[in-house]
Every structure is written in C-alpha cells, then in structure tokens.
Amino acid sequence: MRRSLPVSDSSAIVEEPRIHKGLAGVVVDTTAISKVNPETNSLLYRGYPVQELAALCSFEQVAYLLWHGELPTEEQLAEFERVERAQRALPVAVRRIIDELPLTAHPMDVLRTAVSVIGASDPRASDDSPEAELEKAIGLYARIPAIVAYDQRRRHGDDVVEPRDDLGYSANFLHMTFGDVPELVVVDAFDVSMILYAEHSFNASTFTTRVITSTLADLYSAVVGGIGALKGPLHGGANEAVMHTFDEVGRADKAAAWLDTALAEKRKIMGFGHRVYKHGDSRVPTMKTSLDALLEHYDRPDLGALYDALETAMTARKNILPNLDYPSGPAYHLMGFDTETFTPLFVASRIVGWTAHIMEQRASNSLIRPLSAYSGHDERHVEG
C-alpha cells in the first residue's frame, strides 16, 4: 500500500547562517578550571600560572588543585596520596583483556580498551554524584600508569613490575615502566611534563568529554571518547608524530632540505602550530628547559641540534612556532618510552583535566547540540 508523505515548502527564503568551521573562535561555555590567554601567552590552572606550578609543585598537588579548586594542605595531600597509592596496581580483569590484544595494537587503542573494561567492571559507573565522580576520576588517574607501563613491557617481552607505594606518582610510573627509578633529573622532567599536559580548557578531547557528559552518559564513556579524540595527530597524537619526524629527518644538517620538501608536499609539520596560541605555546619554554636537562643527562647533543635546526627552519619559512608536543616527544624518547607510548602518557596527565571538566559540565549541564547548515540535495521524492 502506498503511503502519502507530507511535502514541505522548500522555496521559503531563509537567511544564510554563519558557519563556524571547526568551531574556531566560538566561545561555547564558561570554565573555572583553566585560562588559556594567547595575548599574554599565559596559562592559568585555577588562577595559578602553570610555570609556577611546574617549578614549585608535584603533579599530585596540581591534580588536587584542578579537581578541588585549591592547592592541598599537607594533610589533604597526604590523604590524597594514600588513596592514589592504594589503587596503583593493574586490575586483574584489565590485565587479562590486554593479554588478549595483539602486540600490534596501538597503545592508545590498548588504553582506550582498558579504560572501557574498568568502566564496565565498576558497579558505580553510573553514579554521578560529585563524590562518586571524584572517586572514579582518582581511580583512573591512579591506574592508568600501570596500564601504560604494562603494555610497553609486554611489547618488550618483560614481566610486569608491581607498583611501589613509597614513591611519588612520577617516580613510580617510571619504576613500573623500566623496573627501576631513574635519576632525579629524569623524574623531574617527567613530572613537569605531566603538569604541563594536565589541562588546556576546551581543546578537542576535553570538549569531546563534555559533549558526551552533556547527554548524561557516565564518566567512563566520556573518558573513552576523550582518548579517541586525543589519538589524532592534529591533537595529542602529535607527540608521537614528532618523533617519527625526527627519525625521518635523521640529522640536523638535513632539517632545512627535509622541511622544504615536506612543505612543498603540503604536509603538516607535527609539533608546530596551535589553534589558540599564534605567538607560541605558553608551555614550551618550561618543557624545553626540562628537555635540555635530559639532552645533557643522556649526552645527546645530536638530538638537541636536530630539534633546534627544524625549529629554526620552520620559523624562517612559515613563522609557525612549536607546541608542547615538540619538546615532549624527544623528552619521552630520551626517558626510554616507545614512540607509540607517548600519547598514552598525555592521557595519563590529561585524565585530570578531562575529569575536572566532566564534573564541571555535570554541575551545570545543557545538552551540547549545535546546528548545521544543510548543503545536500534539494528535496526530492522516491519515484513510482
């Protein structure tokens, strides 16, 4: 039987909507968590300059600040560390699932899967009270290092290294990955990178977590979505891509010619450029200082020269400056992380920012659902 369908009037004159491609320049909501200011080239976490936090605080203190809005007192920090250290071990269910995954799986896919398993195994997954949300956030923050470390070790055929609860977050992360605690200069550089990566307002992955939260989905679903968004090379995947670029270029004296070819081929140069900062990323000088300390510690002037040569050539040709992924990539390489593990390290840090935003979104929610301008076929009808 034929149905008669309503026919709409497509001839009505409508005003052309203004398109905000990529949401560039669009202010979507307020946030009290961080302030990115491209004019002053500054980044504040809850009002504190990130450079000051990197110089004077541990990643644990910064995580507490981002979640609670204030730096912890000594007692609050001790209690926070106790809770975090108690949850550091790799959950058995997660280990089993990781063992099922092929060694060829990208570490970001392994981590995304592992977080999904943690979510599916948590009976409080859909409890969205502020207390439960914070507990889940701390649980992920505490467990992600074990997942990342275990995955890198299994690729090398190495046994799992159990966490140590006498070590701070960064020293323990390195211990679980490499089987020992490296020198202070390495632990400090790692801690600085965690602080710098922790939060950056409405970047693509954080916005993804807010979109998912706005539908009233649970925190784990939002985090899994955030991991997916972070994986791309235009966002977090760039720290891995920077190292592939260094491998491809090879030596400092080849950087300029390599860049000319890459730009002629219209390639994007990974680790350069930023949607918000157009005069340099506020975090780069701090991370570059840590990278310099590592270059000296590991006696790798060749890598430092390559870094400088590519930056100089890129500035001369395009005046596009490095973003945080540019110094972080070689820093993680020097520490001994596999290149594919760099973006999971970004997740280990950004879990703090994501979950702070998830809680902020939930506290003042409105479904995120923008409009689109239709550019498809004019209205038409099925023949017959």
Ligand X SMILES: O=C([O-])CC(=O)C(=O)O
Q: Report the site for ligand ACO in 250-269 (rule: CB under 6 A).
A: 268-269
Contact 60, 168 (CB under 8 A): yes
CA–CA separation, 20 and 29 (whole Å): 15
Find out whether 198 and 66 touch, Cβ atoms under 8 Å.
Answer: yes
Beta bridge partners of 42: 37
For ligand ACO, the closer of residues 178 and 326 by Cβ is: 326
Looking at residues 322 to 381 of the shown chain, list those that interact with ligand ACO (rule: CB under 6 A): 323-325
Q: Which of 32, 56, 86, 234 binds ligand ACO (CB under 6 A)?
A: 234
- The verdict on 46 binding ligand X (CB under 6 A) reads no
Closest approach, Cβ 72 to ligand X, in A, equals 24
339 binds ligand X (CB under 6 A): no
Under 8 Å between Cβ of 133 and 219: yes
Name which position in 112, 235, 333, 357 contacts ligand ACO (CB under 6 A).
235
Q: How far is CA 320 from the centre of its chain?
A: 21
Q: How far is the CB of 324 from ligand X (least distance, A)?
A: 6
Structure tokens at 34: 């961080």
Q: What is the DSSP letter of 7?
A: -
Q: Which of residues 185-214 bind ligand X (CB under 6 A)?
A: 200, 203
Active-site residue, 175 included: no
Question: Coil, helix or strand for 322?
Answer: strand
- 167: contact with ligand X by CB under 6 A: no
Instruction: Say which entry of ligand ACO, ligand X, none residue 114 contacts (CB below 5 to 8 A, set by partner kind).
Output: none
| Side chain identity at residue 246, one-letter code | F
d(CA 185, CA 177): 17
Residue 276 binds ligand X (CB under 6 A): yes
By CB under 6 A, the residues from 45 to 84 that bind ligand ACO are none
Tell me the CA distances in angstroms from 382 to 5, 9, 376, one per residue in order.
10, 17, 16
Of residues 189 and 229, the one with the C-beta less far from ligand ACO: 229
Q: Which one, 284 or 359, has the nearer CB to ligand ACO?
A: 284
Crossing angle, helix 74-85 and helix 130-155, to 10 degrees?
50
301 with 250: CB under 8 angstroms? no
Q: Which residue of the chain is nearest ligand ACO when measured via CB?
A: 273
C-alpha 200/C-alpha 37 separation (Å) is 11
Sign of the dihedral defined by the CA atoms of residues 298, 304, 306, 310, in that order:
positive
Q: 60 or 325: whose CB is closer to ligand X? A: 325
Tell me the per-residue interface mask from 277 to 316 with ligand X, x by CB under 6 A, - otherwise: ----------------------------------------
Residue whose CB is less far from ligand X, 324 or 356? 324
When CB distances to ligand X are compared, the closest residue is: 203
Of 175, 200, 235, 274, the active-site residue reads 274
Tokens 């300029």 sit on residue: 256
* 320 makes contact with ligand X (CB under 6 A): no
CB-based burial of residue 76 (10 Å sphere; 0-12 exposed, 13-18 middle, 19+ buried)? middle
* CA atoms of 130 and 332, how far apart (whole Å): 34
> Catalytic: 191?
no
Q: Near ligand ACO by CB under 6 A, which window of 39-47, 113-121, 319-327, 330-338? A: 319-327
Catalytic annotation, residues = 274, 325
Binding region for ligand ACO (CB under 6 A): 22, 233-236, 238, 268-275, 318, 320, 323-325
Binding site for ligand X (CB under 6 A): 200, 203, 274-276, 323-324
